[in-house]
Structure 1
Amino acid sequence: MDHGCQVRKRDVVVNVAGGAPAGASVRVVQLDSAFPIGSCINGTVIQDPAFVDFFTNHMDWAVFENELKWYWTEAQRGQLNYADADRLLDFCDRAGKPVRGHCIFWAVDGDVQQWIKDIAAYDRDQLMAAVQARLNGLLGRYAGRFPHYDVNNEMLHGRFFRDRLGDDVAALMFREAARLDPGAALFVNDYNVECGNDPSATPERYVELIRYLQWRGAQVGGVGLQGHVTHPVGEIICDALDALSAATDLPIWFTELDVGEPDDALRADDLEAVMREAYAHPAVQGVVLWGFMQGYMWRQDAALVNSDGTVNDAGQRFIDLRREWTSDARGRLDADGQFKFRGFHGNYVAQVTMPTGTKMLKAFTVDKGDTPLVLDMDN
């Protein structure tokens, strides 16, 4: 049994009242999924037609690889560059893809730009002013544009701002982000939490961090697992998901998933194992790949699409999974004027065609629920 089919499906009854003739044909098409899958993009890849084609056809969300990071938007103090982020946002708007905001701050010393390190070395007040200016500048500019933000990336592995401004600065970042963009879900985001081999990044440490942030008034809206996986071990990933969801009751996203394996066929199997673990777990609400095309990825041996645009074994497995997790039902009304099917959560359109050729069309949403969803075509 695929547990994802249990967790993410619901019974639906298409109903035509008033003695609709039995035998009228029904066609139900799922337009999108309530379980989004996306990819990171950057200014270079959106120039490649093969990348754009695969992204447009097979991805629901995007995240910018670097273009929203502070070191990119303000490499030199006071010289702001939002042009690259704006260009990517325009691309996503045209493609109809929501975007995760990655990231407002980065907690790891090596990923903090030099001018920030310089002022941090001699003036705590200037550093705090720079933090506040970053929050005001980024979230003031883009309020309402990013449904998610990774607020202070990789806090299990870095303490740059906390070491210089005190432990509460991390919660302050969340509090201010919530004030400036109340509609955005604010995430913690870190790596190795799901793999069971990093003592700095156990699920227990992650839960402890989240609880501390919440105690200090942070509106933590989601838990990000990066998922840069080499040897996916299903039970370890599942155990981590169980521990996080039980302790926090927060939505979990795989925010930067890639599966490194030189052999395409094995990579396909590994990718499928991780994707099925994510899909089957009720706390997981989405998966974002950290790229998918050879030559444009942070990790080698993780591509789904070769540099010439051909889809490899892993990419075909990915497409097959997406197809498997999409409902497409057809049949005929029974004597009671009903057609029943079990569909994945998401947005749909239903069409009933009478023997006379008359058509009834209705859009609807299948959301979570223990009882069947009844779709009255007449109303």
Structure 2
Amino acid sequence: MSAPAGRARRVLAATAVAVAGTLAVGMAVAAPSSADAAPTLGQLAAAKGRYFGSATDNPTLDNAPYTAVLGGEFNQITVGNTQKWMYTEPSRGQFDYTQADRIVAFARAHDQVVRGHTLVWHNQLPGWIDTVPAGELLGVMRNHVANVAGHYRGEVVHWDVVNEAFEEDGTRRQSVFQQKIGDGYIAEAFKAARAADPNAKLYYNDYNIEGIGAKSDAVYDLVKSFKQQGIPIDGVGMQAHLILGQVPGTVQRNIQRFADLGVDVALTELDIRMNTPRDAAKDAQQAQDYRTVVNACLAVTRCVGITIWDFSDGYSWIPSVFPGEGAALIYDENFAKKPSYWAVYEALGGTTTTTTTTTTTTGDNGTGCTATYRVVGQWHGGYQAEVTVRNTGTAATTGWRVGWTLAQGQTVSSLWNGVLTTSGQQATVRNATYNGRIAVNGTAAFGFVGASAGTNPAPVITCATT
């Protein structure tokens, strides 16, 4: 499927460092005008000539609170699973794009560019691949790449053409493609992708290549060889599935050495996992780690963007693969922004204001809470604030409410993740239908945009749970 010419030109104009100025996306709330609203991560990244995006999967597209953040905060989307071979060609020669098309349509509706993921990978293959004779597999691979990349021609700005072709020691992974086709299969996949979509940027993508080591050296040598031979390659994707406190010290230098080969670099699947449960010290370290990674990308001109591997801890792949680990993303399970979000926000050039908050705890049946009020952005005549409710009791909550008195000249113009009522200057927010339950020591959060006249003092805030 080819995009209509006008749309194809619009999408492709937004690729790589041309992102700045073309990808401004709206807030996840409708009330404030773009002139007054605090910037999103996508807008901040675009101002620096980059994108900041998220991966997503089809089941989450039916979750309204989730899609409000996905569609409003980011200027790029990666199709997490449903562009992979097992979904797009489940039977030999029979292609199905239904699920991936839905994500691409969501991105188009929200003015977001799409990274395609992935054309050739050793994992998530349909079972019939293993039965293809060695002499036929190259043709099958070329046909798959031609069909999938051709279907999304003009809709996808980057393709992860080949994914994870190297072992940790830098040797070739013995995938079905390596065993039956040989070393040349990677180059052939890139050639087929270029023929199918001449305007998409073509990437090699892998994990544990963020720092300098045997595996990243092997990828470096591959890219260098391809450039010398004229094999079409435009970029390297560093997945960046990282561990708390273990960001490689050579990450910026490594990004730079790939850029010096004449290719772009993207951080394609960023998350930073920790041993759970979270605590304040782990949150602080994670925030610093995210800041380090974002700064490393910003320091290299050809580092074109960053994608987190989904944005909410509730939808992370980590706990299912690494038992006892998780909390790897920048939003928590209730879509509250974590300290890591604000580290990214500030690294991208956003400004935040820390406020002093008074909290109270009330409740019964073993329940109780604290509420933390934070002004996250201020501008002439307006501000954006976030309130985080933490369950400090001994049982899960069924609901919560927060109250405060608006200062003279303060009003609330729009609010999300809660239900607002006002009486004079008294504001009360109760939980929404989907976030009233908070586990012990868990959190929920709501945010709002307000107007102010003169000073914008932090209020005395109260909290109660049921």
Normalising to structure 2: TM-score of the pair? 0.58
Q: Is the 8 A contact 2:211 2:248 kept in 1?
A: no
- Cα offsets for 1:148-195 (capped at 9, x unmatched): 111111122324213311322211111121111110110111111113
Aligned to 2:263: 250
Matched, 1:188 2:197: no
Distance 1:58 1:91 in 2: 14
Separation in 1, partners of 2:227, 2:187: 8
Q: What are the within-5 Å matches in structure 2 for residues 50-89 of structure 1?
A: 50-89=65-104
1:307 corresponds in structure 2 to 333
How many Å apart are 1:87 and its aligned residue?
0.7
One-letter identity of the residue aligned with 2:339: D
Q: Distance in 1 between matches of 2:142 and 2:248?
A: 41
Q: Say yes or no: does 1:240 pair with 2:259.
A: no
- The one-letter amino acid of 2:98's match is A
Indicate whether 1:290 and 2:309 are aligned.
yes
Selected match of 1:271 from 290, 293, 303: 290
Give the counterpart letter for 1:172 in structure 2. Answer: E
Work out the CA distance in 1 between the residues paired with 2:288 and 2:231.
Answer: 39
CA distance in 1, matches of 2:136, 2:329: 43
Cα 1:329/1:313, change in 2 over 3 Å: closer
Q: Does the Cα contact within 8 Å between 1:171 and 1:216 map onto a contact in 2? A: no
Matched, 1:95 2:85: no
CA distances 1:5-37 after superposition (whole Å, capped 9, x unpaired): xxx9xxxxxxxxxxxxxxxxxx9x996431111
In structure 2, distance between residues paired with 1:77 and 1:147: 27
Task: Give the Cα–Cα distance (whole angstroms) in 2 for the partners of residues 191 and 329 of structure 1.
Answer: 40
User: What residue is the counterpart of 1:259 in the other structure?
Assistant: 272
Counterpart in 2 of 1:143? 153
Equivalent residues of 1:234, 1:274 under 8 A apart: no
Question: Deviation per CA, 1:317-360, whole angstroms, max 9, x where unpaired?
Answer: 3334445289x999xxxxxxxxxxxxxxxxxxxxxxxxxxxxxx
Identify the residue that residue 365 of structure 1 maps to in structure 2. Answer: none
Q: Secondary structure in 2 aligned to 1:39?
A: strand
Deviation at 1:111, TM superposition (A): 4.0
The 1:183–1:56 alpha-carbon spacing in structure 2 relative to 1, beyond 3 Å, is same
User: For the Cα contact (< 8 Å) 2:210–2:248, is it kept in 1?
Assistant: no
Q: Percent identity?
A: 24
Partner Cα distance (1:250, 1:46) in 2: 33
Inter-partner Cα distance in structure 1 for 2:198 and 2:58: 28
| 1:47 and 2:42 matched | no
Is 1:210 equivalent to 2:229 in the alignment?
no
Amino acid at match of 2:158: H
1:232–1:274 Cα contact (<8 Å) kept: no
Match of 1:361 in 2: none
The CA distance in 2 between the partners of 1:191 and 1:37, in whole Å, is: 19
Please list the CA deviations of residues 26-58 of structure 1 after superposition, one character each: whole Å capped at 9, or x if unmatched: x9x996431111110110222222222222232
> Residues 325 and 186 from structure 1, CA distance in 2 versus in 1: closer, same or farther, beyond 3 angstroms?
farther
Work out the CA distance in 2 between the residues paired with 1:319 and 1:245: 25
Higher relative contact order (CA 8 A, sep 6+): 1
Give the conservation status (yes or no) of the 8 Å contact 2:56–2:78.
Answer: yes
Structure 1: any 5+ residue segments left out of the alignment? 1-7, 9-26, 331-379
- Going from structure 1 to structure 2, the CA distance change for 1:147 and 1:168 (only over 3 Å counts) comes to same
- Contact 2:314–2:334 (8 Å) recurs in 1: no
Between Structure 1 and Structure 2, the one with more helix by share is 1
- Residue 117 of structure 2 aligns with an amino acid whose one-letter code is H
CA distance in 2 between counterparts of 1:186 and 1:214 reads 13
CA distance in 1, matches of 2:124, 2:102: 23
Secondary structure in 2 matching 1:44 = helix
Give the whole-Å Cα distance in 2 for the aligned partners of 1:233 and 1:69: 28
